[in-house]
Structures are given as C-alpha cells and as structure tokens.
Amino acid sequence: RRVCAAAPQSQAAAYTESHVQPVYQPYLTTCQGHRLCSTYRTIYRVAYRQAYRQLPQPAASCCPGWSRANSHALSCNRALCWVPCQNGGSCTFPGRCACLPGWTGRACQTDVDECAGQSHGCGQLCINTAGSYRCACRDGFSLAADDKACQPLVPAPEPETFSQAGPPSEMKEEMKDLKSRVEALEQKLQLVLAPFHNLMPSVPEDVGADPISRLSHSLQQLDRIDSLSEQISFLEERLETCKCLEKA
C-alpha cells in the first residue's frame, strides 16, 4: 500500500549443497616374488559445503507523505506530518492531525470554545478552558450534582410588609411615649424662659421665633442690665465722695 516505485534488487543468500569428495585410502597387496607391497586406492563419498547465491529482493519506495513503520515492512502505512501534532493529536494523513475533543486545526493547536454555542448544557454560566469547559453559577446559587444545573443556596426571603391597619401596636406606643417627652421638654423650656419674657415682652424682628434664639437674645439683655447696674453703682460711689469733700 502507498508504494509509488519498486525496483528489483539482488541479495546474497547462503545455502548448503552436497558434492562427491574423492578419498585416497592406503592398503596392502602382493607384489612379484610374493612380497607385500603398500599402495593407494581411490574411493568416493558424499560431502556437504556452504555456498552462496544471489536472490532477487523487492525494494519499495513510499509515496510522498508516507513511510514504513519498520525497515522490514513492505507497505507504507505511517503518515508523515511536517508540523508535529500538538495537544495529544496523532498524524493520520500526510500533513493532517486527528485531534482530541476540545482541539482543532491542522496541528491541533487551536482550542475549541465550547461556550460559544448552546451545546454546553450549563444552567447559568459557561467558562471556557484549554481543551474543555466548566459550568458556574451566579451569586446565591451552587452547582448541582450533574455539574451543569444551578440550585439556590437558601430560599429567597419574603419581603416584609405592613398590614393595611398600619404599624404594629408596639411602634404606636413608642411614638406616643416620644411625643409626650417632647411636650414635657417644651413645657420646661417655657418655664425657664418666662422670667426673660417678663423683662422684655417684645422681641425684635431680627430674633428667630424658635426658643433657642429667644433664649440667646434674653441672655444678651441680661448682660446689658448687669453692665448698667455696675455703672450706676460706680456713679453713686463718686457722688458720695464729692459730698464728703464739700463738708470738709
């Protein structure tokens, strides 16, 4: 398979062959005068020897992009990829790789974005990873046992609403207690400011109507009254001094 050219070649092969081998064997015989003579006679036997002969050996040349799996194979079944296959891919056709799931490209160098389509099956979020993907959930949810669906961590709390009758009775009591405290403080403030109102019943227009402004204005008037009292006392002392000098 995938052999593009074949040229016959010869290769020397060893084998064993048989041949007739002469053997010279000595023996005794009777010569003239009835004497014993020594001579030789030739006998033949089968012998074996190793010989060599040239045998035709087919040699195949692989087509471009293919090679032999080993040097003794006659067919060319191994594909060649000039760019090595990456990420676990294998070369199955010249210049083309068979990729594992999650990878693509001629050399399996490109990651497949599984989250781009709708086949991932994630319930909420899909996160692409190198050669694969994983599912995730939004805040308040967690992955289910199938690692795809999302389930809530805790049930959502129901919103609290007041009844049509209004706030609870405890809140009404607290509001009533606060209101009574404010009224008591206003009454005490009126008692404190009463003497100052008697001293100065009319309040200038530039003074605010709130109790704090009226109190500040009243305190300023008291300071002025004290200052006038001191001046009057000083004048009385001078008058007494003058009277004493005239008598003398």
pLDDT over 50 (residue 149): yes
Phi, psi torsion values for 85, nearest 5 degrees: -70, 140
| Domain of residue 141, CATH code | 2.10.25.10
Neighbours of 6 (CB within 10 A): 11
In a domain? residue 100: yes
Classified as helix, coil or strand, 98 is strand
CA distance to 11, 93, 178, 183, per residue, from 100 (Å): 45, 15, 76, 84
For residues 135 and 150, give the distance between their C-alpha atoms in angstroms, rounded to a whole number: 9
Q: What is the pLDDT of residues 156-211, one digit of tens each?
A: 556 555 444 455 677 777 777 777 776 776 676 677 666 655 655 555 555 555 65
* CATH number for position 107: 2.10.25
How many domains, the chain? 3
Q: With 70 as the cut, is the pLDDT of residue 235 above it?
A: no
Domain that holds residue 13: 1-80
Q: Residue 234 is encoded by which pair of tokens?
A: 């000083």
pLDDT tens digit sequence for 53-105: 887 766 668 888 888 877 766 778 889 998 999 999 999 989 889 999 999 99
Please report whether residue 160 resides in a domain: no
Mean pLDDT for all residues in the chain: 76
CB 123 within 8 A of CB 131: no
pLDDT at 19 over 80: yes
Q: State whether residue 47 is helix, strand or coil.
A: strand
Residue range 7-30: average pLDDT? Answer: 81
In a domain, 129, yes or no: yes
pTM of the model: 0.39
Mean pLDDT for 149-155 is 84
Share of the chain above pLDDT 70, in %: 63
Supply 90's token pair: 């294998």
Q: 11-15, 19-23, 84-88, 144-148 — which is least confidently predicted?
A: 11-15
Specify whether 55 is located in the same domain as 104. Answer: no
